[in-house]
Structure 1
Amino acid sequence: MLSEEAVSPDVLSWIADLQEQNTLPSTSRDIAGSILTREFDSILYGPIVDYSFRNLETLSDCVKLTPRSGFRPNQYTDDKKLKSCSLRLSHNRLCEMTGLDQLIPALLVEPERLFWIDLSFNTFPSIDPVLLKLTRLQILNLHANQISELFEVDKLVSLNNLRNLTLHGNPMEQTKGYRSYVVEVIPQLKTLDYSLITKQDRSTAAVFKKFIKRKHVARRKYD
Structure 2
Amino acid sequence: MESKMVSPDVVSWVENLIEEPENPSTSRNITGSINTKDFDSILYGPVVDYSFRNLETLSDCVKLSPRTGLRPNEYTEDKKLKSCSLRLSHNRLSELSGLDQLIAALFVQPARLFWIDLAFNILTNIDPVLLHCAKLQILRLHANQINNLPEVDKLASLIHLRNLTLHGNPIEQTKGYRSYVVAAIPHLKSLDYSLITKQDRSTAAMMKSFTKRKRITRRKYDD
Q: Shorter chain as normaliser: what TM range?
A: 0.7 to 0.9
Q: Is the 8 A contact 2:21 2:85 kept in 1?
A: no
Whole-angstrom distance in 2 between the partners of 1:67 and 1:198: 37
TM-score, structure 2 as length reference: 0.83
Corresponding residue of 1:8:
19
**CA positional deviation for 1:161:** 0.4
Whole-angstrom distance in 1 between the partners of 2:105 and 2:219: 49
Q: Which blocks of at least 5 consecutive residues in structure 1 are unaligned?
A: 19-32
Post-superposition CA distance 1:36-80 (Å, at most 9, x none): 674994786310000000000000111110111001001112222
Letter in 2 for 1:55: N
Corresponding residue of 1:61:
60
Matches within 5 A, 1:62-211: 62-211=61-210
Q: Is the 8 A contact 2:137 2:160 kept in 1?
A: yes
For these two proteins, the number of residue pairs brought into alignment is: 201
Structure with greater Cα Rg: 2
Q: Is the 8 A contact 1:63 1:107 kept in 2?
A: no
SS in 1 for 2:120: coil
Q: Is the 8 A contact 1:125 1:148 kept in 2?
A: yes
Q: Is the 8 A contact 1:142 1:166 kept in 2?
A: yes
Corresponding residue of 2:12:
none
Corresponding residue of 2:45:
46
The 3 A distance-change label for structure 1 pair 205 and 93 is same
Letter in 2 for 1:202: R
Corresponding residue of 1:22:
none
Q: CA RMSD in A?
A: 2.4
Whole-angstrom distance in 1 between the partners of 2:41 and 2:182: 26
TM-score, structure 1 as length reference: 0.83
Corresponding residue of 2:13:
none
